[in-house]
Amino acid sequence: MHTVTFYPLGNADSYLIELKKGKKLLFDFANLRNPDDKSDCRIDLAAELRKTLDNQDYLDVGAFTHLDDDHIHGSSDFFYLEHADKYQSEDRIKIKELWVPAAAILEEGLDDEARILRQEARHRLIKGGGVRIFSRPEALAEWLEQNDLTLDSRRHLIANAGTLVPGFDKINDGVEFFVHSPFSKHCDDEEFDRNTACLGMQATFDTDTQLLMTADATHEVWEDIVKITKVHNNENRLAWLCGPPSSLCCNIRCQSR
């Protein structure tokens, strides 16, 4: 049985999809709990994930829907990052494939963990593997050219809105992921809103259960998604929780105090 676990993190997001054939996909990571505050009921996300992974030292997918702190906090302390030796101790969790919106490549003027994750995504994109970029704005083509690369040479690492994410299907993995956003227009301005340019998709499991993953997309974005999805006769891609109640186990874990 597939399992989706939503972690209690207060005003922050992180959830883990565990597929019945073993693959594990984490969407966002925000380890905001204060260990010195006994009244803080948020979960110790790092400890919980290590417990779930047991002796496995990697995630098949680590997806960061956007680079706001409530979606990435503590990630540079937890994950093995390829772009710098300081993030490569043996106790860190590796990410086989990093998923980020194009905005996470293009945004400038970052600091702290947003900058660290941007550098990791850029490193993998330049290297040519271990990353999946969502959306293909003109600005991404320009950025690639500035780094002596072409869009064609990295096209296999990019997924556009309205397509399925390569590497997953219902026959072999028990799930497929349909990309809803971001649209290219969300990432082409020099100054863009992260919530507007964040990653949004629908997971459809082989149980016919469907899960909408919206991150912090604004209502204007979802108005566009609904309109475009209907134009392309893909209204089933807007569905969620369509399967029988027993077909997907969704655990909400709360740490008792």
3-state secondary structure the chain: CCEEEECCCCCCCCEEEECCCCCEEEECCCCCCCCCCCCCCCCCHHHHHHHHHCCCCEEEEEECCCCCHHHHCCHHHHECCCCCHHHCCCCCEEEEEEEEECHHHHCCCCCHHHHHHHHHHHHHHHHCCCEEEECCCHHHHHHHHHCCCCHHHHHHHEECCCCECCCCCCCCCCEEEEEEECCHHHCCCCCCCCCCCCCEEEEEECCCCEEEECCCCCHHHHHHHHHHHHHCCCHHHHCCCCCCHHHCEEEECCCCC
Q: Which tops the pLDDT comparison, 185 or 71?
A: 71
Phi first, then psi: give them for residue 50, nearest 5 degrees: -60, -40
Q: Is 247's pLDDT higher than 60?
A: no
The Cα-based distances of 86 to 78, 116, 170 in angstroms read: 12, 11, 38
Cβ atoms of 8 and 43 within 8 Å: the answer is yes
What is the fold, at CATH topology level, of the domain defined by 3-252? Metallo-beta-lactamase; Chain A (3.60.15)
Cβ atoms of 202 and 238 within 8 Å: the answer is yes
Residue type, 51: K
Strand-by-strand arrangement of the 175-181 sheet = 175-181, 200-205, 210-213
The Cα 64–Cα 194 span in angstroms is 12
Please state the rounded mean pLDDT for residues 89-99: 97
Name the band, by pLDDT with cuts 50, 70 and 90, for residue 39.
Answer: confident
Structural domain spans, the chain? 3-252
The pLDDT > 70 percentage for the chain reads 91
What integer pLDDT is reported at residue 257 of this predicted model? 31
Q: Is 112's pLDDT higher than 60?
A: yes
What integer pLDDT is reported at residue 248 of this predicted model? 43
Please state the rounded mean pLDDT for residues 8-22: 92
Please state the rounded mean pLDDT for residues 239-243: 73
Please state the rounded mean pLDDT for residues 214-237: 91
Q: Which tops the pLDDT comparison, 10 or 95?
A: 95
Global pTM?
Answer: 0.92
Please state the rounded mean pLDDT for residues 199-214: 93
Of the spans 60-69, 136-145, 203-212, which averages the highest pLDDT?
Answer: 60-69
The Cα 56–Cα 42 span in angstroms is 24
What integer pLDDT is reported at residue 88 of this predicted model? 98
- Please write the tens of the pLDDT for every residue from 158-204: 999 999 999 999 999 999 999 999 987 766 666 678 888 899 999 99
The Cα 198–Cα 212 span in angstroms is 14
The pLDDT > 90 percentage for the chain reads 72
User: Could you tell me which of 133, 112, 110 has the C-alpha nearest to residue 197?
Assistant: 133
Which of 80-84, 141-145, 185-189 shows the lowest per-residue confidence on average (mean pLDDT)?
185-189
